[in-house]
């Protein structure tokens, strides 16, 4: 039983090598990076549009208030025209307050303008990057598909060999193996090693209880609690 499963793993290693070559290829990395960027574009664009709307609203409100304050202060005219000292002091105080408001408002408008410039710059950059991502996606998706197609015959051949061997492996053991493979654990199978009469996982060195060792000796596969590989007994 274990001989067939080990043979299965050896051939499966060839399949995994091809799968890794494809998944780690520059073609796939470029295609996936472009795809992920394009998926996020709408969200990023929506955030920029929302920020732009908020800034425009603040800008319009500030400009409107700025104009009103300037009109209000102009109504007081030349303070020297007022003969009444009390009235003169009131007008001066009121004008000074309006001037401070206008000055603060002017600074606020300047800050809003700067923020709007930043948003416009980010929007322009996003537009440029989106164009580049579309171009990259169009270029590398066909290359990625071509790479997969070039490996298809070889992969089919290997899968056919695996299917043939699988017939001689107990269903339960095969299911355990495939579950580990799906979890990206590879190699899946490791032999138990005995040090000072104590069984250990040859992958990570974790010691097994003797009850597990007895199961191994009877031909069962035992999962290592540490590295989660399937451990087998290869005999004395």
Across the chain, mean pLDDT equals 88
pLDDT at 53: 87
Confidence of residue 36 (pLDDT cuts 50, 70, 90): very high
Confidence of residue 162 (pLDDT cuts 50, 70, 90): very high
Mean pLDDT of 8-23: 97
For the record, the structure tokens of 10 come out as: 């050896």
Pairing mode of beta strands 198-201, 222-223: unpaired
3-state SS of the chain is CHHHHHHHHHHHHHHHHHHHHHHCCHHHHHHHHHHHHHHHHHHHHHHHHHHHHHHHHHHHHHHHHHHHHHHHHHCCCCHHHCCCHHHHHHHHHHHHHHHHHHHHHHHHHHHHHHHHHHHHHHHHHHHHHHHHHHHHHHHHHHHHHHHHHHHHHHHHHHHHHHHHHHCCCCHHHHHHHHHHHHCCCCCCEEEEEEECCEEEECCCCCECCHHHHHHHHCCCCEECCCCCCEEECCCC
pLDDT at 17: 97
What are the extents of the domains in the chain? 22-162, 172-232
Report pLDDT digits (tens) over 189-213: 999 999 888 999 999 999 999 888 8
Confidence of residue 139 (pLDDT cuts 50, 70, 90): very high
Confidence of residue 236 (pLDDT cuts 50, 70, 90): low
- The residue written with tokens 């355990």 in the block is 176
pLDDT at 234: 86
The fold adopted by the segment(s) 22-162 is Helix Hairpins (1.10.287)
Ranges 85-94, 128-137, 158-167, 198-207: which has the least confidence: 85-94
Please tell me the distance from the alpha carbon of residue 225 to that of residue 152, in angstroms, as a whole number. Answer: 36
């Amino acid at each position: 039983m274990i001989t067939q499963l080990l043979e299965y793993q050896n051939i499966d290693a060839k399949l995994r090598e091809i799968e890794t070559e494809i998944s780690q290829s520059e073609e796939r990395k470029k295609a996936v990076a472009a795809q992920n960027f394009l998926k996020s574009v709408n969200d990023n664009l929506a955030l920029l549009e929302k920020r732009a709307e908020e800034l425009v609203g603040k800008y319009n409100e500030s400009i409107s208030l700025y104009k009103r304050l300037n009109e209000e202060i102009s109504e007081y005219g030349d303070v020297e025209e007022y003969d009444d000292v009390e009235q003169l002091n009131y007008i001066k105080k009121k004008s000074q307050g309006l001037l401070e408001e206008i000055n603060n408002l002017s600074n606020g408008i300047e800050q809003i303008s700067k923020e709007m410039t930043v948003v416009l710059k980010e929007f322009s950059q996003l537009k440029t990057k989106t164009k580049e991502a579309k171009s990259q996606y169009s270029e590398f998706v066909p290359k990625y598909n071509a790479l997969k197609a070039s490996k298809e015959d070889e992969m089919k051949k290997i899968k056919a060999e695996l299917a043939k061997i699988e017939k001689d492996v107990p269903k339960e053991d095969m299911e355990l193996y495939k579950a580990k493979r799906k979890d990206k654990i590879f190699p899946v199978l490791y032999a138990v090693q005995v040090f000072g009469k104590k069984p250990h996982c040859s992958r990570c060195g974790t010691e097994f209880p003797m009850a597990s060792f007895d199961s191994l000796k009877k031909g069962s596969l035992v999962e290592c609690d540490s590295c989660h590989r399937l451990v087998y007994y290869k005999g004395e």
